[in-house]
Structure 1
Amino acid sequence: MNDISTGILFAILACLIVISGYFSGSETGMMSLNRYRLKHLAGEGHKGAKRVEKLLSRPDRLIGLILIGNNLVNILASAIATILGMRLFGDVGVAISTGLLTLVVLVFAEVTPKTLASLYPEKVAYTSSLILNVLMKILAPLVLLVNLITNGVLRLLGIRATHATEDPLSSDELRTVVNEAGGLIPRRHQDMLVSILDLENVAVNDIMVPRNEITGIDINDDWKSIVRQLTHSPHGRIVLYRDQIDEVVGMLRLREAYRLMLEKNEFTKETLLRAADEVYFIPEATPLNVQLLKFQRNKERIGLIVDEYGDIIGLVTLEDILEEIVGEFTTSIAPSLSEEITPQGDGSFLIEGSANIRDINKGLKWKLPTDGPRTLNGLILEHLEDIPESQVSIEVERHPMEIMKFTENKISLVKVFPARK
């Protein structure tokens, strides 16, 4: 070293700092990559992504290589800085060179390259992988030796080193990924994807048409009444029952009824019953994602929901489930949210008591509780623990509410204000 000029030593020191910065930036760039985007690009044949994916398949070796290179460079830089300090300032130069080198390494070999690499991980990782691939082959024996020693130390501590495997994303994590996609995925598509993920958290009885709103025909009615109901029905299928809905006898396709009407000799109660399909029953707690697959597997579009006692409590259709994903259809059996909620000039909303709480939350971006009653009427009755005999004002989850109208033993209209701040 004594034969090397001071200028050359400074040049070597500068090169070592640059190399140290390369190793630091490479480490940050490799570890900051989006692994799912990396897999996608590698699958499409991106050469840089393939190189990086291969290096990251053994992260212990990659980190070992980077740390070996970085430490060798930094130790050599420290030795050269010490020689330069002693040449320029004598014995006190050791302290001066240590302080200055620490500052230079922090700024130019650590903070700056790592910050750049975290901002542009793909550019840094794909470019540096060219050199890292070569160094991995050259320093392979040393890297293996270091890894063997490291793994041995870990085993002495009772830790077994295994190759890390990518944990699959949970539904909540995938939901976060979708929401963070920003402009990469249109907002409408993001909502649909999140809705698909939410299907497993919603049961059929959360979206069903309740029992008292099911449109059906009592097959024991007089024939003229049955024909009138058939010709005026707005639905494609209709429930046939005897005396009460629990005595259901079939599900009739209206187009089949119209066909029988054209064959006047064949249009009787008996032929209607023979033309009706077998009723498809659904347990009340079935999650929507499961029921969607069951509809597909059984080639059904509509089913009656039964509780644990076998009583019919509602009806759900394939369209109802699809609405949870893509939004309301004009052909829905249940009333639309716009029909159940009427904005008022004072900022409040007149809401039907039968309105589903989940629908209210989705439509108005509110957070009314959904872990109990499913309708606004049920939520208020649970809060009051009694059926009110007159108009009353209450507050539920910071939402002021005024009961406006009663129908028999239920609340039919409520004035609800947004939640208090």
Structure 2
Amino acid sequence: MDDIATSTLLIILGVLLFLSAYFSGSETGMMSINRYRLRHLVQQGHRGAKRVQYLLDRPDRLIGLILIGNNLVNIAASAVATIICLRWFGDAGLVVATFGLTLVVLIFSEVTPKTIAALHPERVAFPSSIILKPLLTILYPAVASVNFITNGFMRMLGVNPNNTQGQDALSSEELRTVVNEANSMIPTSHQEMLLSILDLEKVTVEDVMIPRAEISGIDVQDDVKSIIKQLSQAQYTRILLYRNEIDDAIGFIHARDIMQIVTKNSVELDKSEIVRSAREIYYIPEGTPLNVQLLKFQRNKERIGLVVDEYGDIQGLVTLEDILEEIVGDFTTTITPLSSESTTLQPDGSVLVDGVANIRDLNKEMNWNLPIDGPKTVSGLVIEVLGDIPQQPLCLTVNDYRLEIVESSDNMVRKVRFFDL
């Protein structure tokens, strides 16, 4: 070593520091790369992505290879730097080499390459894999030996080095964060739809159903002329038929079936023929999540159903359109009143809300945070908080919202004013 010129040792030291920077940057780039984008590029046939995926399939081997190389060049650099400093500074060279090399390695071989690799992992990982993949083959005996020892030590500590299954899986909340942070990569409307799909498991059929009191149906006990008039003026293509009351439902009759009956009969329609044309009712248990019900509609080839409680009493009506609107928003053909039609902004900044307004819809439209784990309407929320139906104007507080009951009747709260929103 004494025969080697100092200039040559400086060149060797520079090469070793460059190799150290390469291994440090490669490690950070490989570990920082987006695994989902990597899989997408692999499916697209990207060669660099395939090499990186091959290396990341066994991260213990990859890390072992990089650390073997990094430690070798760092120790060699330390030895070379010590010789150079001893020539220049004598015995003080040991101290100079220790602190000087630490600073140089820290700046040029650690912080700088690792920061660049963290900011641009693909630009670092893909080219690095060209060298790392064949290097792994060449140094495999050394890497395997190191891995055998380290894996055994990890097992002694209760860690299974081979248990990597499911580490890249995302929960619904984590997936929600990914969608929210997509920004311009995904249009806002698409982000809203994706988030709505994730919300389907948290929303039940009671949240979107048409309440029992608002179900549009026809009593088959009425005379034929009245039934025909109601059918002709119906706002829906599917109408519920019942006897005397909703709980004695017969079935749904489609507008297409009505037209066929009218076309076939040149004389007065027979009520029994209308009843026979009714299709069997599809019942939905209350509490069914929307994602489950959507699949059930698809599996059973149904588009509409009646929500029933544990006693079999009808609570409301749900259609396929109601569930789809939770994903894509209200259709232009819907005749259901919008949330904005249930709210009126007052000159003093307060908001006047109808008692029948749906709380979930209000939260979405007004960006409020009213509780949705109980009653579905504002009237139900007020009654639950008070424990009674108020018969005179009064004020109350719900989740830091100040409410004033403006109008109520014997069975419900009709108007509520919200302050300080």
Partner residue of 1:390? Answer: 392
Partner residue of 2:269? Answer: 267
Give the alignment of 1:93-132 within 5 angstroms.
93-132=93-132
Deviations 1:102-154 (A, max 9, x none): 00110000000000000000000001111111211211111111111212223
One-letter amino acid of the structure 2 residue matched with residue 93 of structure 1: G
Moved more, 168-177 or 233-242: 168-177
Shift of 1:229: 1.4
Give the alignment of 1:398-413 within 5 angstroms.
398-413=400-415
Deviations 1:160-195 (A, max 9, x none): 331523432211111111111111110100110111
Shift of 1:39: 0.3
Give the alignment of 1:32-51 within 5 angstroms.
32-51=32-51
Partner residue of 1:213? Answer: 214
Matched, 1:160 2:160: yes
One-letter amino acid of the structure 2 residue matched with residue 154 of structure 1: M
Shift of 1:84: 1.1
Instruction: Give TM-score scaled by structure 1 length.
Output: 0.96
Write the distance in 1 (CA, Å) between the matches of 2:395 and 2:163.
62
Partner residue of 1:330? Answer: 332
Paired residue secondary structure (2:4): coil
Contact preservation (8 Å) 2:389, 2:410: no
Contact preservation (8 Å) 1:240, 1:249: yes
Contact preservation (8 Å) 2:391, 2:409: no
Shift of 1:309: 0.4
Change (3 A) 1:134 1:191: same
Shift of 1:282: 0.6
Write the distance in 1 (CA, Å) between the matches of 2:348 and 2:45.
59
Partner residue of 2:20? Answer: 20
Write the distance in 2 (CA, Å) between the matches of 1:283 and 1:201.
16
Write the distance in 1 (CA, Å) between the matches of 2:156 and 2:292.
48
Write the distance in 1 (CA, Å) between the matches of 2:410 and 2:236.
27
Partner residue of 1:137? Answer: 137
Write the distance in 1 (CA, Å) between the matches of 2:266 and 2:203.
45
C-alpha RMSD of matched pairs (Å):
1.4
Partner residue of 1:202? Answer: 203
Change (3 A) 1:133 1:321: same
Contact preservation (8 Å) 1:260, 1:266: no
One-letter amino acid of the structure 2 residue matched with residue 230 of structure 1: L
Shift of 1:247: 0.5
Shift of 1:234: 1.0
Partner residue of 1:318? Answer: 320
Write the distance in 2 (CA, Å) between the matches of 1:339 and 1:222.
35
Matched, 1:85 2:85: yes
Paired residue secondary structure (1:342): strand
Moved more, 162-171 or 27-36: 162-171
Contact preservation (8 Å) 1:209, 1:334: no
Query: What count of residue pairs does the alignment treat as equivalent?
Result: 419
Shift of 1:61: 0.4
Partner residue of 2:377? Answer: 375
Paired residue secondary structure (2:414): strand
One-letter amino acid of the structure 2 residue matched with residue 23 of structure 1: F
Write the distance in 2 (CA, Å) between the matches of 1:392 and 1:141.
81
Write the distance in 1 (CA, Å) between the matches of 2:418 and 2:401.
7
Write the distance in 1 (CA, Å) between the matches of 2:157 and 2:87.
46
Moved more, 18-27 or 246-255: 246-255
Shift of 1:157: 3.6
One-letter amino acid of the structure 1 residue matched with residue 359 of structure 2: I
Write the distance in 1 (CA, Å) between the matches of 2:336 and 2:285.
20
Paired residue secondary structure (2:249): strand
Change (3 A) 1:205 1:399: same
Write the distance in 1 (CA, Å) between the matches of 2:166 and 2:52.
15
Partner residue of 2:192? Answer: 191
Shift of 1:3: 0.7
Shift of 1:158: 4.2
One-letter amino acid of the structure 2 residue matched with residue 265 of structure 1: V
Matched, 1:250 2:254: no
Paired residue secondary structure (1:9): helix
Moved more, 80-89 or 404-413: 404-413
Partner residue of 2:68? Answer: 68
Matched, 1:354 2:351: no
Write the distance in 2 (CA, Å) between the matches of 1:418 and 1:53.
55
Moved more, 383-392 or 16-25: 383-392
Paired residue secondary structure (2:267): helix
One-letter amino acid of the structure 1 residue matched with residue 192 of structure 2: D
Instruction: Give TM-score scaled by structure 2 length.
Output: 0.96
Write the distance in 1 (CA, Å) between the matches of 2:278 and 2:395.
48
Matched, 1:148 2:155: no
Shift of 1:355: 1.2
Shift of 1:258: 3.0
Partner residue of 1:293? Answer: 295
Write the distance in 2 (CA, Å) between the matches of 1:409 and 1:159.
62
Write the distance in 2 (CA, Å) between the matches of 1:41 and 1:186.
22
Partner residue of 1:366? Answer: 368
Shift of 1:295: 1.0
Paired residue secondary structure (1:248): strand
Paired residue secondary structure (1:362): helix
Contact preservation (8 Å) 2:351, 2:417: yes
Shift of 1:399: 1.4
Paired residue secondary structure (1:265): coil
Partner residue of 1:169? Answer: 170
Deviations 1:15-40 (A, max 9, x none): 11111011000000000011000000
Moved more, 367-376 or 255-264: 255-264
